Amino acid sequence: MGRVSQRFPDFPWDTIAGAKARASAHPGGIVDLSVGTPVDPAPALARQALAGAADAHGYPTVAGPEAVRQSIVDWLGRATGATGLTADHVLMTVGSKELIGNLPLQLGLGAGDLVVFPELAYPTYEVGARYAGCEVLATDSTVAVGPRRPSLFYLNSPANPSGKILGVEHARKVVEWARERGTLLVSDECYLDFAWDEPAVSVLHPDVCGGDTTGLLAVFSASKRSNLAGYRGSFVAGDPAVVAELLAVRKHLGFMVPTPVQQALAATLADDAHVAEQRERYDRRRTVLREALERAGFRIDHSQGSLYLWARRQTERGDEPCRDTVDWLSERGILVAPGDFYGPAGSHHVRVAFTATDERIAAAADRLA
């Protein structure tokens, strides 16, 4: 246990147990806007595909059937504008967190390798790098990297936690910068379907990568877009040489997506209607919650995309420390994530998910009033 605690930070959600207990004690029950787990039903077509493939008596392959991978390629063309992709450009993963957590190690990175991730970032980027023994740097500026050559550079747009969206020009410049240095650029695009105030662009789009996936990977998930967080269906797409290297390693380690999940993933990727319906739900909840927070004295920063509002509470003494804001909200039965989960730059913000039910979102708005 001692060695684990030295390698990794404390598991962040354990640090708000007290706030969760206070929020749970509210007479109207807790409104949990912290984790951002989907609460709406999984699409019927996903459940039907899962059940139809339930007689999965044989081992699945790590690569998966070419027909399933082709469904991923077809979706990538529609959703990201990517061109020239084949089944060799994609690889299914057991959830996107699994891939990110294991990626540096599975690529053979370790001591002496530098991994760069955003200043405000999903903690697994850092945890996966430390797990492999890499050096880490949290920055939004390529200038801050200096003369060093990172082995791995993460982008995240729309971003978790801030909801920030990177434009085409910004993304293209980072791609060019990474290629000049021989750095693998990995873009976490799990929230690509949820861009609200401006369009989101994939690094696989020709305007960003020039139609060339060399040195690029993009990570996608069905957890948010199709309410399949419990299925652990996701995939990575990009440079076929890197995909082949990951496939070879993952064959040895047995990272196989179960056959029923593969079929459910393919079914959801072939249907855009259920995603449009889910977008409408989230758009409605986002509007209610944003207006309620602003009326209660919060300022919303970024939040152009993703499933979160990046909020700070303004008092007479200035912006309130995030843990104080968590406590203030918990007294009203509302649980949110403190911004310092995602790095020191988040010390005055909280991440507020709008993935709760309509009823719970309305309850939060009433309490904020």
Domain of residue 281, residue span: 2-41+274-368
In the chain, which ranges are continuous DSSP H helix?
A: 2-7, 17-24, 44-52, 66-80, 96-106, 124-131, 168-181, 206-209, 222-225, 240-253, 259-269, 273-295, 322-330, 358-368
- My answer on whether 96 and 190 are in the same domain is yes
Q: Residue 227: its pLDDT value, please?
A: 97
Contact 130, 106 (CB under 8 A): no
Last residue of a domain, one of 211, 237, 270: 270
Mean pLDDT of the chain: 96
- My answer on whether 101 and 191 are in the same domain is yes
Q: Which residues are 334's β-sheet partners?
A: 31
Last residue of a domain, one of 216, 249, 270: 270
- My answer on whether 75 and 162 are in the same domain is yes
Last residue of a domain, one of 213, 248, 270: 270
- My answer on whether 196 and 55 are in the same domain is yes
How many domains, in total, are found in the chain?
2
- My answer on whether 90 and 207 are in the same domain is yes
Separation in Å, CA 187 to CA 91, 156, 238: 15, 6, 10
Q: What is the domain-level CATH number for residue 29?
A: 3.90.1150.10
- My answer on whether 331 and 189 are in the same domain is no
Question: For 61-97, how does the pLDDT look when each residue is reduced to its tens digit (9 = 90+)?
Answer: 999 999 999 999 999 999 999 999 999 999 999 999 9
- My answer on whether 329 and 284 are in the same domain is yes
- My answer on whether 297 and 256 are in the same domain is no
Chain centroid offset of residue 94 CA: 14
Separation in Å, CA 205 to CA 5, 38, 198, 211, 219: 40, 28, 16, 7, 14
Contact 183, 195 (CB under 8 A): no
Q: What is the domain-level CATH number for residue 139?
A: 3.40.640.10
Residue 5 has pLDDT above 60, yes or no: no
174: which 2 tokens?
A: 């980072």
Across 126-151, average pLDDT? 96
Question: For 329-358, how does the pLDDT look when each residue is reduced to its tens digit (9 = 90+)?
Answer: 999 999 999 999 999 999 999 999 999 999
Spatial separation of the C-alpha atoms in residues 157 and 169, rounded to whole Å: 13
- My answer on whether 73 and 12 are in the same domain is no
Question: For 260-316, how does the pLDDT look when each residue is reduced to its tens digit (9 = 90+)?
Answer: 999 999 999 999 999 999 999 999 999 999 999 999 999 999 999 999 999 999 888
Spatial separation of the C-alpha atoms in residues 296 and 316, rounded to whole Å: 14
The pLDDT > 90 percentage for the chain reads 94
Across 27-45, average pLDDT? 96
Residue 222 has pLDDT above 60, yes or no: yes
- My answer on whether 242 and 216 are in the same domain is yes
Q: Provide the pLDDT confidence category of residue 1 given band limits of 50, 70 and 90.
A: very low
- My answer on whether 307 and 186 are in the same domain is no
- My answer on whether 250 and 145 are in the same domain is yes
